[in-house]
Structure 1
Amino acid sequence: MPDTYGVVILGSGTTAFAAARQVAANGIKVLMIEQSHLGGTCVNWGCVPSKTLIDKAELYFAARRGSDWGLNLQAGEPDAKILMQLKKQAVETVRKDHYHHELENNPNIDVKHGHGRFISRREIQVGAEIIPFEKALIAVGGTPRIIPLPGLDQSRYLTSYSALHLNDFPESILMIGGGVIALEMGQMFARFGTQVIILERNDRLLGEFDLRLTAQFAEILRREGIQIMTEVEIERVEARPEGVCLYSTVKGAPVGLCAERLMLAVGTSPATDGIGLDKAGITVDAAGFIETDSGMQTNTVNIWAAGDCTGPPLIAPAGAREALVAVENMLNPDARRTIDHTFSPMAVFVDPEFATVGLTTDQARLKGIDVEEAYIDLEQVPKAHVMGRLEGGVLLCCEKPSGRIIGCQILAPRAADIIHEVTLAVRFGLTVSDLTTTVHVYPSLSDGVRMAARELCQRLNLPIV
């Protein structure tokens, strides 16, 4: 290994690899320091394993749903051992093909295994070895947030990590949280036969999405047998031989619930414990996330940070983009690259899917933007009738009077794919006329975006031909 690396990166996940690849492409030696598996959270404990099981749960559920269309498919009991083995194979394949393979073929990237921590603003210690560096990127990601609850430590609780490594699906589970992870995992467990109760502190699920969409999805979950409780204040947890009991108030009334397992799905904490941020002089916010400027530089001038350890949006592709911005600014200080996550789409991989990009109507108005919105129920889209999937909708927002598209939210099958059309529109300042006059495939769910754009054109008296 070289005496000094041009760039040292803490982590080896999606964010870290994006940075290392870019540094190496500039002919500079880069070192990644990883204390666990290559690929980080997304590959090993997050996106890849969870979406593998979510996809199989959707297939399993679709077999039963087909009976409404005269498709008399018989769905037997799911085999958890086979499913978990397939999930493991998916993780190992992605790790090998997308990470190990690249390392073998890129002489400018080195990896050192072990726990890395700053001991100064220009040195990192790994075990007994001290590694000097010119510039560093912190890309250590996040970990499941654990909330302090009396009795929790004795309850064998699950997180989004450990829940993906069970040998069997539990008979019942109490899911604390009503956000992305809770809904993705809760629906997946329910479709594999687990009795699921979702416990949300606020008055509704997925507070970042429009109520017209979330209310429909809550009803979908209830029809699938999932119980949803909102305005829940949890008081304590009690381990029992047969499982766990949770004591709380729901809308002010005392409620006790028991299940085989309890899962925490209450967000993400930065994985920065023990990496010596104080030794490097790096500041963090009240939640412990590393503070950076819009160019991903920390308050220590030769250290940058990117990905989940810096806070929202907490999605892997956004972290990768942050890493590229950071590297460009490291290697070319005059570049002054910045990132604006208004242009970063995100999705919730439930069924049907949620997706969003840009500003909501309320966010736009807070910024002083005069805004108009159109909402199209999915049942107005012909493809929804072809599929027999009528729940959902498209919410499109534009600036008045120009019609410039500023945001969109979708609840529909494959919403995570559909949203990219609007992402390009938001990023490049396209108008509702641009979308309306673009020919869309028919029948397609994407046509719902065109229909919403056409409605906005009519309201604002903008061209539709």
Structure 2
Amino acid sequence: MHDYDAIIIGTGQAGPALAARLSQAGMRLAVIERKFFGGTCVNTGCIPTKALVASAYAAHMARRAADFGVTIRGEIAVDMAGVKARKDDISGKSRAGVESWVRGLPGCTVIQGHARFSGPHSVAVGGTMLRAGRIFINVGGRAAAPPIPGLERTPYLTNSGMMELGELPDHLVIIGGSYIGLEFAQMYRRFGSRVSVVEMAPRIIPREDEDISAAVADILESEGVALHPGAECIRVSGQTGSIAVTLRHADTAREIAGSHLLIATGRRPNTDDLGLEAAGIETDERGYIKVDDQLRTNVEGVWALGDCNGRGAFTHTAYNDFEIVAANLLDGNPRRVGDRIPAYCLYTDPPLGRVGMTEAEARRTGRPYLVARRPMTRVGRAVEKGEALGFMKILVDAADRRILGAALLGVGCDEVVHAILTLMYAGAPCDVMQRAMHIHPTVSELLPTMLGELVPADVA
């Protein structure tokens, strides 16, 4: 039995940063990683997919060169081997950086292998037994496959498998019309594949307001992505290069023939093989570890951070989990998960920056609210860049004039949204931003203008 002050299981976004703080505090700790350092974000999520998005954007803009008075002679071709090599290099350097960081921490022992609990404060990795009074679970999640007849006999890809794809699919069929599915849909259409997206809900990204869903659908369809909302996938069959996907829409069945199949219907936590029952750690019906508002499990001295706790599904929420745990444990600074404001982005082009409530959620509260909208065609910066698709929408409480939420679909809006997010954290009324002088020419300069054009929601 090897004794430590703390054990961290997993090196996703929360684990390495927490290891650094614990090391700085003089603790003797063990960090356990079963495969790749850096977790989903570094290896199969944010970093590699945004590298692919960048390559797809370059191809798209090259095809649009004439719109800007630029002549490119010859065919615009995409070298998928080169695209993958660039992505692998960026992701690989990030992974190596995380590993080097963790291995270099004073008092930190890195153990590679699969960890399983043998008791409330003991963990086995192969034949090695470890014990600590504090254990932090940061094991992340993975793609979930729905119970589609024939799927178990049909080759399919997930977000992880897409990272290993070195060739261009002739026809990529994507099951799932939400954030992951739509990002891959647009990028592979821009690479040159035919792309079809199947979504069981009546519209794509059903979590968003209808106007946002419709605008994103228009953008994708204008680029040639075939969308099939309101369609249930009832059967799949075939082999790579020849995949048959049978859909049912209302009472009508039809078949889509594709070369590759991507399943993008959600994720599940990596908690099913951790031996949590041996520690008495409780999970919910989906396998997520139950935690309180400070990320403590029901077992004293055990915390769960990141995707495995069901309290957020993003890199930024995982890192914020680390900040909350470190503040409470090491700084005497009480912080809670309940204090954070929901915020995320959909990285289609243009991107969707989202913060706070949707309009549907604001309407359900029953409180009076104000709304401001502006199409990107009325944003000078977007017009100048030749990227004036989308629109921006801000919701404001009619009583205290605090911002309730925003949906910003347009060029640069993945960055612009943070101006609104910061104001919301400050608890300040929207008048503070309305009176601010923003820089011209930018997308952000229109936020004060929009806030001067608020109208009651029933008038908008």
TM tier relative to shorter chain: over 0.9
- The alignment's TM-score, normalised by the length of structure 2, stands at 0.95
CA displacement at 1:178 relative to structure 2? 0.6
2:344 matched to which residue of 1? Answer: 346
Contact 2:117 2:123 in 1 (8 A): yes
1:35 matched to which residue of 2? Answer: 34
Residue identity matched to 2:237: E
Between 238-247 and 323-332, report the one with greater CA deviation. 323-332
Q: CA RMSD in A?
A: 1.9
Equivalents in 1 of 2:104, 2:292: separation in Å? 34
1:185 matched to which residue of 2? Answer: 184
Equivalents in 2 of 1:388, 1:73: separation in Å? 18
The question of 1:394 aligning with 2:392 is answered yes
3-state secondary structure, aligned to 2:374: strand
1:20 matched to which residue of 2? Answer: 19
The question of 1:423 aligning with 2:407 is answered no
Gaps of 5+ in 2: none
Gaps of 5+ in 1: 461-465
Contact 2:154 2:236 in 1 (8 A): yes
The question of 1:132 aligning with 2:126 is answered no
Which one of the candidate residues 400, 405, 408 is aligned to 1:407? 405
1:341 to 1:386, Cα distance in 2 relative to 1, 3 A: farther
Residue pairs, 1:297-312, within 5 angstroms: 297-312=296-311
1:29 to 1:363, Cα distance in 2 relative to 1, 3 A: farther
Contact 1:376 1:451 in 2 (8 A): no
Contact 1:142 1:270 in 2 (8 A): yes
Equivalents in 2 of 1:394, 1:231: separation in Å? 26
Equivalents in 2 of 1:292, 1:104: separation in Å? 29
Residue identity matched to 1:418: V
1:82 matched to which residue of 2? Answer: 82
Residue identity matched to 1:239: G
Between 106-115 and 48-57, report the one with greater CA deviation. 106-115
CA shift digits 1:292-317 (9 cap, x unpaired): 11111111121111111112531011
3-state secondary structure, aligned to 1:279: helix
Contact 2:288 2:309 in 1 (8 A): yes
3-state secondary structure, aligned to 2:453: helix
Equivalents in 1 of 2:93, 2:101: separation in Å? 13
Residue identity matched to 1:152: L
Between Structure 1 and Structure 2, how many residues are aligned?
456
3-state secondary structure, aligned to 1:161: helix
Q: Identity across aligned pairs (percent)?
A: 27
Between 290-299 and 237-246, report the one with greater CA deviation. 237-246
CA displacement at 1:365 relative to structure 2? 4.6
Contact 1:22 1:324 in 2 (8 A): no
CA displacement at 1:185 relative to structure 2? 0.7
- The alignment's TM-score, normalised by the length of structure 1, stands at 0.94
Equivalents in 2 of 1:90, 1:149: separation in Å? 35
1:463 matched to which residue of 2? Answer: none
Residue identity matched to 2:388: L
Residue pairs, 1:169-248, within 5 angstroms: 169-240=168-239, 242-248=241-247
1:265 matched to which residue of 2? Answer: 264
1:312 to 1:209, Cα distance in 2 relative to 1, 3 A: farther
CA displacement at 1:7 relative to structure 2? 1.5
CA shift digits 1:261-318 (9 cap, x unpaired): 1110011110112101111111112221111111111111211111111125310111
3-state secondary structure, aligned to 2:163: helix
CA displacement at 1:368 relative to structure 2? 5.4
Equivalents in 1 of 2:238, 2:456: separation in Å? 58
Equivalents in 2 of 1:206, 1:242: separation in Å? 28
CA shift digits 1:209-228 (9 cap, x unpaired): 22222212211111111000
1:341 to 1:253, Cα distance in 2 relative to 1, 3 A: farther
Equivalents in 1 of 2:143, 2:284: separation in Å? 18
